Amino acid sequence: MSIHAQDWPKYTSSWRATPVDNDAHRRRYLSVRYKFVITVLLSLAWAVFSYSLARRWIHDLSSVEGRVLADLMIFGIAILPGFMNAFLVIGLLMDRRPPRRIFADSDLPGVTVLVAAYNEEESILSTLASLDRQDYPSPVEVIVINDGSTDGTMERLRSVSYPWLHVIDLRCNGGKANALNVGLRHATYPLTITLDADSYLYREALRRLVERFLSDPPDTAAVAGAVLVRNSRLNLITRMQEWDYFHGIAAVKRLQSLFQGTLVAQGAFSLYRTDVLRSVGGWPECVGEDIVLTWAILRQGYRVGYCEDAITFTNAPTTFHQFIRQRQRWSRGLIEAFKTHGGLLFHRRMSTLFIWWNLLFPYMDLVYTLVFIPGLLLACFGIYWLAGPMTLLVLPMAFLVNYLMYVIQSRMFRAQGLKVRHNPLGLVVYTLFYGIVLQPGCVMGYFAELLKLRKRWGTK
C-alpha cells in the first residue's frame, strides 16, 4: 500500500492500535496522570528532606555570602539536582509503556527519509548502505541534499545507483535547516524521517520507528529514535560521550515520553508526520533547529514520543573543541526555543514540567560553573563553604539513575542482539568529570545566544 502525504488524515485512525478491553487489565493499570502525581510528590518529599538536612550548611554559608545568595547557591548545587534525580528514578521505576505493536507489512505506510549532507565523503556511502539493508516492506524514498559540500561528497553520491535514492545538489551551503526544508518540499509520503549523514541504522530501525508511531496515542506527531555513539572506541572524548548517550540522554527521553512530551526529536534520527511538518513551516533557520521544531509541534497540541529500540549509531565529536562547540550549539538551541515558544511554559500538560525544568538549566549550569567548581578547589584546601559533605546528598539518586538506566538499556540491548561495550574508563570519566567539562560549555552557549553573537553550526 502506497499512501501519499496529502492522504494521511483519512488513514490515521485505521493505523492506530486498539486498546485492550479487559477488566483485569484495567484494574492493574495505573494511569499516566497518577504516575505523574506520585512521581512529583515523592520527588518533592526528597527535596524537602534534602533541604532540612542542608539547613546548617545554608546557615554557615549565609554568614559569608548572605541568606539569599546562600539559598541560590545550595539550591543550584544540591536541592534542585536532587529533585531531578529523584524524579528520574521514580519515573523510570514506573515506566511501563505499552509494547510496540507489530503491524502487517501491508499496513505500514510509505516513508520519506531526508539526509542533509555537508562534507560527508567519509561516511555518506556507509549511511546509504545501512538504509539499503533495512527490511521495510512499504515504499521508501531517500532524498539526500548535498548542502554545498566542498569535498568529494557529491562524487560519492554519483558512484551509487540505488533505485530509491534521489539526490539534490545545492551549489551553496545554506545550513542544515535550509537543506531539510528543500528536501521536505519533495517529500511524497505521509511520514518523514530525518537521518544524519554520518549515522548508521541498526537492523529494522525504520520499521520499529514507524510501528512505535502507529502504536502511540492518536495525537502523536513525531517520534524520536534512539541515538548511540558509533565511534566510541576512538579516544577518551568519545568513550565519555558513549555513556552520556547510553545513560543520560536515553533516560531523559524515556521519562519525557512517559509523561507525554519528548522535548527534542533530534535531527540525527526522528520521524514526523509530513503534514504537521509543513503546517509548522518546517525547520526554522537557527542553530537548534530540531529543538525549536519539536517545541513548535508541542505548541500545536501534539505529542512527541520516543522509540528506544529504533537505533542509529552516529559519530560523536572526536576532540574537546568539537565537543564544546556541539554543547554550545545545543545550549543556544534551548534559548532559541524559549525565545520562540516560551508560551509552552503555561500549557496545562504534564510535559510542561519539563519545559520549566529546562528553564532551570541555565541557572543550575551557571551555579555549577561559578560556585561548585571553585568550591571543589576550595575544598581541596579544607574550606567547605561551597562543596562539602552535604554535597553528597545528590549522589545516592545519581547512582540510582545510572544503575537503573544501565539495567534498562542492557535489557533492551540483549533483546536487539547487541552487547554493551566494556568501557570502564569512559564511565569513570563520565561520572567524575563530565559535568566539570559540560556545564561551563553550556554557560558559554547561553551567553552567546543572549548576546546575539555570530552563529556557527560547527558540529552537530
| Cα–Cα distance, 15 to 81 (Å, whole number) | 41
In this structure, is residue 459 part of a structural domain? no
Q: Integer distance in angstroms from the first to the last C-alpha of the chain? A: 35
Q: Which residue type occupies 127? A: T
Q: What cell does 180 get?
A: 531539510
CB 288 within 8 A of CB 177: no
In this structure, is residue 361 part of a structural domain? no
Q: Return phi, psi of residue 373, to 5°.
A: -60, -45
CB 124 within 8 A of CB 117: yes
In this structure, is residue 287 part of a structural domain? yes
269-273 vs 220-229, strand pairing mode: antiparallel
320: domain CATH number? 3.90.550.10
State the chain's maximal CA–CA distance in angstroms: 73
Cβ-proximal residues to 30 (8 Å cutoff; 6+ apart), any chain: 94
Q: What is the CA radius of gyration of the chain?
A: 23
- Quick one: pLDDT at residue 397? 66
Cell 545510572, located at residue: 402
In this structure, is residue 447 part of a structural domain? no
**Domain range spanning residue 284?**
105-336
In this structure, is residue 236 part of a structural domain? yes
Q: Return phi, psi of residue 262, to 5°.
A: -60, 125
pLDDT mean by block of 10 residues, the chain; 460 residues? 50 46 51 92 93 84 86 89 90 85 92 97 96 96 96 95 96 93 97 96 96 94 95 91 89 89 93 97 94 96 94 94 92 94 93 93 92 80 66 67 85 87 85 85 91 65
**Ordered strands of the 140-147 beta sheet:** 165-170, 140-147, 111-117, 191-195, 269-273, 220-229, 303-314, 199-201
According to DSSP, the residues that pair with 195 across neighbouring strands are 269
Handedness of CA 161, 165, 166, 171 (dihedral sign): negative
- Give how many domains the chain has, as a whole number: 1
Cell 520507528, located at residue: 209
In this structure, is residue 39 part of a structural domain? no
In this structure, is residue 364 part of a structural domain? no
CA neighbours closer than 13 Å in the CB half-sphere of residue 199: 29
CB 109 within 8 A of CB 80: no
| Cα–Cα distance, 16 to 40 (Å, whole number) | 30
Q: Return phi, psi of residue 95, to 5°.
A: -70, 105
In this structure, is residue 331 part of a structural domain? yes
